[in-house]
Chain A
Amino acid sequence: MAEGWPKQRRVLGSKVRRLDGPAKATGLAKYTYDINRPGMLHGVIVRCPYAHARIKAIDSTATRKTPGFRALTILGVSRDGVVVAVEGNQLTYTPAAKKKAGQEERITVTVNERVTLIKNHKVVSLKEVQVGDRLTIEVEQDAIGRELFFAGEEIAAVAADTEEHARDAARALRVEYEVLEHVVAEDEVLKDRNKRTVPAPSNYSEGKAATQGDVEAGFREADAVVEATYGVPVISHQCLESHGLVAEWTADGGLTVWASTQATVATAQQLAARFGLPAARVNCITHYMGGGFGSKFGPDVQGFAAAELARRAGAPVKIMLDREAEITTAGNRPSAIGTVKIGGKKDGTITAYAVDCYGTPGYTGGATVNLNLLPYVYTDAIPNWKRSHAVVYINAGAARAMRAPGHPQNCVLTEFAIDDLAARLGIDPLIIRRKNLPPNNPKAPPNSWAARRNTIYNEQIDIAVQLSRWKEKWHPPGQGNQVGSRRYGIGMALHTWGGFAAGQPNECFVIIGRDGSIVARTSTQDLGTGQRTVTAVVVAEILGQDPASIITEIGESRFGQSSGSGGSTTCPSQAPAALRAAQAARDELFQKVAPKVQADPADLTIAPGKVVDRKTGREWTWKEFCARLGMEEARGRGVWSLGIANEPGNEDISSGQVGGVQVAEVSVDVETGLVRVHHIVAVQDCGLVVNRLTCESQVAGGVIMGLNYALFEECIRDRVTGRQLNADMEFYKLGGLGDMPKITVHLQDMPERGVIGIGEPPVISTAAAVGNAVFNALGVRVPFLPLTPWRVLQTLAQGGKIR
């Protein structure tokens, strides 16, 4: 059986400061946005100002004359082809794509200054073109007729010597639009389901439905049934470092990009595919990264555009999105509005749950909730349920994964209903939660989630109850403490998440030098999660070193295989890969040096800062021992994936599926409608903790993102113009330090479960817990997030009764 995590842990699970903390805190760390290459140009994207339009005319003549202009690309129209004839200013080619057997399509183009020809990654004139050449051909006029589906959709990109000149050049591009009908509000689609303002056949798509048991019988059995509609809005990732990259073609025809990405390898692969390069000729560098939260998995339009402009201009090009584009085009968390009916007995048993919901992913995309996981953590306990979800398309940017995609919506649609049912039954909602937890499966492997989930949730609820003083603070809704116009309340919610290793292999390499230096190298990226430090902690543990002494080289696609940082898979993939790499490097070190010190490699072991021969008791300092490598070095490669994790004997190295419980304590001012959160308790199941400091930070950070979802965030669109009104940071609200409650994080260590990713789970249940606390304070449900003063007052005004 493979060697697992050490039983005696020296560094693992302790609090280790971020290795890159000083560089980041003093501005010395170079993020993608900070990269300034010699001769670098700045790129700006021309975007559609309308929510739905068709291009009627386009003319770049003025753009090309602006000061400092260097390159232009009209997006979405370039084609690759092989030249079959050149006559005068006429170029005839056969398109590389979509060649049908037996018939060859031929396209003839009149080449003028608004037609761009690219050969071998360089712009060429028609004179330089010969029959048989493979070209990229971009005809500006081909953009005419293109339909654009949201305000902000990309039309063209320009590069100029300064950013100011690039903006001038972008403004000078003349585009005429035929403005088409748009829809930017979900309710308008519901009024007319046959509307079509998006690529799909209609703006309304029925979606999926499923049922279990006999829902109607379940409701008949119930002592109380509650039906209500709850909802969460579309929100934006708001990565502080916007999406973008710097592209630089190397003299030998390779491409180097500095990208703000959660996936260096995938980004490099996508660029290689687009530009017809071997994957090894593209290096994607992400040494530091200013937040992604699920929205940064590839080059995106702006990344391809930067690389395209760079090859046309023969100079590096940087394109970073401005804030408006970041919010309107670079992804969002979709909305979910659901009508929930729930029935239960006086003892807290839920007899039936039915949800009919819809949401918008923007102009394209799929379901906005995890329909298969409703009624969320209680699914396996509730005998009768029914669920359905429709997709509503609107003229807005497309959704992307956002930190626990679908789960926060599921959590609200389930946990709000549970507290409303408890109120109707006149019981503490804790009783319902405990009564309907998923059962342990005695047949499952002993440390697996399935075998322990009921026990884990009950323990977590116990801890949360104690840390939040629930028993003392909970009261029937609306019957709690009052101080002046403020009402106090407390609320709870539960969540679950995977956090397994990634399906794709993740590699890590450890190199021990003869000077005793240790390099840990991996292509994975550190989004701010602390992954760089995690790698160092693991290597330091195995090799008896201080994590700060490990040289970490991360975030370059050329460093090996790694998956994108999504699904909380990075730590459970990379920590085991680092473990295996360090073990392999250690074993190679022993193999190489043992003969030179007349020892048996099997007798050698590592203690802090030294190597020990267990047989003879001899000791060498780490440096002494490594010096015996002579001209060699010791290398180890580690690889990990979900497949390897699932092999017998590996379940305590990494696993997955976690539970968490959060409790929020709030006060609501019934005169102003202002909600203040005073305390949040977050109990998180997290398997084996690698770095306690950054693990706690992840949980607290998730809670704060959930708090923002509860109180502040919402993409607000104007129905008339179809544009987002708050594509900025003054009216798109995010909490500051003064808005923050005290946050108590409790990590529920279960080292026997191995490493589990926890980036996503703590973000899930916060908003539901806050919403339930507001309900507990007021005695009336504010059904839609965010819980703004306006919404609170509106709820109170519409008949919500308070004491």
Chain B
Amino acid sequence: MNEATGPGRGGITRRGFLTGTGLAAAAASRLTAESTAERAAATQETAVAFGPGPVRIELVVNGRKLTTQVEPRVTLLDALRNYLDVTGCKRVCDRGTCGACTVMVDGRAVYSCTMLALEARGKDIRTAESLVVGGRLDPVPEAFVRCDAQQCGFCTPGFVVALRAALDKNPQATEAELEAAVAGNICRCGTYEQMRQAIAQLVRKGG
């Protein structure tokens, strides 16, 4: 699929990329027309798509526009942590099974280790850091603190973000629905009993 390498660019062409596997094409289509530079690139046959070298990207994180250079293989999690110093999302399993890296992407809870940084361009990314404003805690982390639903705290931002996303989607969510919202998150210290109390309090207060 990489037959039409642009001279001196070392990358693959957009056409070559798009005529590749269905999966690659699907992924690529999600990346198209996200920015004016991209749109311009899409009209040029020999334009280099992405990589393998670093690509300049802009991400909107917690309402701030942040710019960096990452290789296309860099996940959203690694871009946030290693390139933008936004470290509330934690790297634990790095393959979408523990939930510690959960962030909100356009309001949806997403494992940021399973999304490429490039895919996140133009989307509204929110991390746990957005859940405190001027020292005022959002009700979700507030409930976690009150009930002591954290010990080492390394998994906590992931739980908190997943619950915030669920409550944003449905402020009337039941305890069972909120438990389901964090079914993909793992805590090793064993704070689930206190988490249930926090969830119960959140449900009583309506998020």
- Cβ-defined contact, B144 with A25, below 8 A: yes
Cα separation A704 to B190 with both chains bound (whole Å): 5
Interface residues on A, range: 35 or more
Q: Is residue B28 contacting chain A, with contact meaning CB distance below 8 A?
A: no
CB distance from B63 to the nearest CB of A (A): 15
Q: Which of these binds chain B: A76-84, A238-246, A611-619?
A: A238-246
Q: Is residue B49 contacting chain A, with contact meaning CB distance below 8 A?
A: no
- Cβ-defined contact, B183 with A26, below 8 A: no
- Cβ-defined contact, B93 with A24, below 8 A: no
Please give, as numbers and ranges, the residues of chain A lying within 8 Å of B88 by CB-CB distance: 26-28
Q: Is residue A290 contacting chain B, with contact meaning CB distance below 8 A?
A: yes
- Cβ-defined contact, B97 with A728, below 8 A: yes
- Cβ-defined contact, B192 with A240, below 8 A: no
Instruction: Tell me the nearest residue of chain A to B195, going by C-beta.
Output: A737
Q: Is residue B47 contacting chain A, with contact meaning CB distance below 8 A?
A: no
Q: Is residue A451 contacting chain B, with contact meaning CB distance below 8 A?
A: no
- Cβ-defined contact, B148 with A528, below 8 A: no
Please give, as numbers and ranges, the residues of chain A lying within 8 Å of B82 by CB-CB distance: 36, 42, 162-163
Please give, as numbers and ranges, the residues of chain A lying within 8 Å of B150 by CB-CB distance: 18, 21, 24-25, 528
Q: Is residue B18 contacting chain A, with contact meaning CB distance below 8 A?
A: no
Cα separation A740 to B127 with both chains bound (whole Å): 27
- Cβ-defined contact, B132 with A291, below 8 A: no
Cα separation A296 to B191 with both chains bound (whole Å): 21
CB distance from B189 to the nearest CB of A (A): 5
Q: Is residue B13 contacting chain A, with contact meaning CB distance below 8 A?
A: no
Please give, as numbers and ranges, the residues of chain A lying within 8 Å of B94 by CB-CB distance: 322-323
Please give, as numbers and ranges, the residues of chain A lying within 8 Å of B141 by CB-CB distance: 22, 25-26
Please give, as numbers and ranges, the residues of chain A lying within 8 Å of B89 by CB-CB distance: 27
Please give, as numbers and ranges, the residues of chain B lying within 8 Å of A24 by CB-CB distance: 150, 153, 156-157
- Cβ-defined contact, A26 with B129, below 8 A: yes
The verdict on A738 contacting B179 (CB below 8 Å), with A24-B150, A527-B152, A697-B148 known, is: yes
The verdict on A27 contacting B129 (CB below 8 Å), with A164-B74, A729-B186, A730-B95 known, is: yes
Q: Is residue B3 contacting chain A, with contact meaning CB distance below 8 A?
A: no
Q: Is residue A149 contacting chain B, with contact meaning CB distance below 8 A?
A: no
Q: Is residue A406 contacting chain B, with contact meaning CB distance below 8 A?
A: no
Cα separation A577 to B85 with both chains bound (whole Å): 37
Cβ-defined partner of A163 (8 Å) among B78, B127, B131, B196 = B78
Cα separation A281 to B71 with both chains bound (whole Å): 38
Please give, as numbers and ranges, the residues of chain B lying within 8 Å of A743 by CB-CB distance: 193
Q: Is residue B76 contacting chain A, with contact meaning CB distance below 8 A?
A: no
Q: Is residue B60 contacting chain A, with contact meaning CB distance below 8 A?
A: no
The verdict on A20 contacting B153 (CB below 8 Å), with A323-B92, A729-B93 known, is: yes
Please give, as numbers and ranges, the residues of chain B lying within 8 Å of A242 by CB-CB distance: 92
Instruction: Tell me the nearest residue of chain A to B181, going by C-beta.
Output: A737
Cα separation A30 to B160 with both chains bound (whole Å): 17
- Cβ-defined contact, B152 with A291, below 8 A: yes
Cβ-defined partner of A737 (8 Å) among B98, B128, B152, B192 = B192
- Cβ-defined contact, A239 with B188, below 8 A: yes
- Cβ-defined contact, B92 with A17, below 8 A: no
- Cβ-defined contact, A26 with B186, below 8 A: no
- Cβ-defined contact, B154 with A36, below 8 A: no
Q: Is residue B137 contacting chain A, with contact meaning CB distance below 8 A?
A: yes
Cα separation A694 to B128 with both chains bound (whole Å): 23
- Cβ-defined contact, A241 with B90, below 8 A: yes
CB distance from A64 to the nearest CB of B (A): 20
Cα separation A36 to B82 with both chains bound (whole Å): 7
- Cβ-defined contact, B182 with A291, below 8 A: no
CB distance from A178 to the nearest CB of B (A): 32
- Cβ-defined contact, B179 with A730, below 8 A: no
Please give, as numbers and ranges, the residues of chain A lying within 8 Å of B73 by CB-CB distance: 164
Bitwise interface map of A from 743 to 763 toward B, beta carbon under 8 Å scored 1, else 0: 101000000000000000000
The verdict on A528 contacting B97 (CB below 8 Å), with A26-B128, A26-B141, A291-B189 known, is: no
Cα separation A641 to B141 with both chains bound (whole Å): 37
Cα separation A164 to B52 with both chains bound (whole Å): 11
- Cβ-defined contact, A29 with B189, below 8 A: no
Q: Is residue A702 contacting chain B, with contact meaning CB distance below 8 A?
A: yes
- Contacting A at CB under 8 A, from B75-122, are 78, 81-82, 85, 87-95, 97-98, 100
Cα separation A164 to B189 with both chains bound (whole Å): 30
Please give, as numbers and ranges, the residues of chain A lying within 8 Å of B195 by CB-CB distance: 737
Please give, as numbers and ranges, the residues of chain B lying within 8 Å of A240 by CB-CB distance: 90, 92, 98, 100, 152, 154-155, 186-188
Bitwise interface map of A from 526 to 541 toward B, beta carbon under 8 Å scored 1, else 0: 0111100000000000
- Cβ-defined contact, B190 with A700, below 8 A: yes
- Cβ-defined contact, A33 with B90, below 8 A: yes
Cβ-defined partner of B193 (8 Å) among A18, A162, A700, A708 = A700
Cα separation A545 to B155 with both chains bound (whole Å): 31
- Cβ-defined contact, B157 with A241, below 8 A: no
- Cβ-defined contact, A736 with B185, below 8 A: yes
Q: Is residue B194 contacting chain A, with contact meaning CB distance below 8 A?
A: yes
Known pairs A323-B93, A704-B190; list 9 more (Cβ under 8 Å): A21-B150, A24-B153, A25-B145, A26-B141, A27-B89, A34-B87, A291-B152, A528-B189, A704-B192
Residues of B within 8 A of A (CB): 71, 73-74, 78, 81-82, 85, 87-95, 97-98, 100, 127-129, 131-132, 137-138, 141, 144-146, 148, 150-157, 160, 179-180, 182-196
25 A-B pairs within 8 Å (CB atoms) are namely A20-B153, A21-B148, A24-B150, A27-B129, A28-B132, A33-B87, A33-B91, A42-B82, A162-B82, A163-B78, A164-B73, A241-B90, A290-B153, A293-B188, A322-B94, A323-B95, A528-B189, A696-B148, A697-B194, A700-B191, A705-B190, A729-B95, A735-B192, A736-B186, A738-B180
What 6 A-B pairs have minimum CB-CB distances, sorted nearest first? A27-B88, A704-B190, A528-B152, A24-B153, A290-B154, A701-B190
Residues of A within 8 A of B (CB): 17-18, 20-22, 24-31, 33-34, 36, 42, 162-164, 238-242, 288-291, 293, 320, 322-323, 527-530, 693-694, 696-698, 700-705, 708, 728-730, 734-738, 740, 742-743, 745
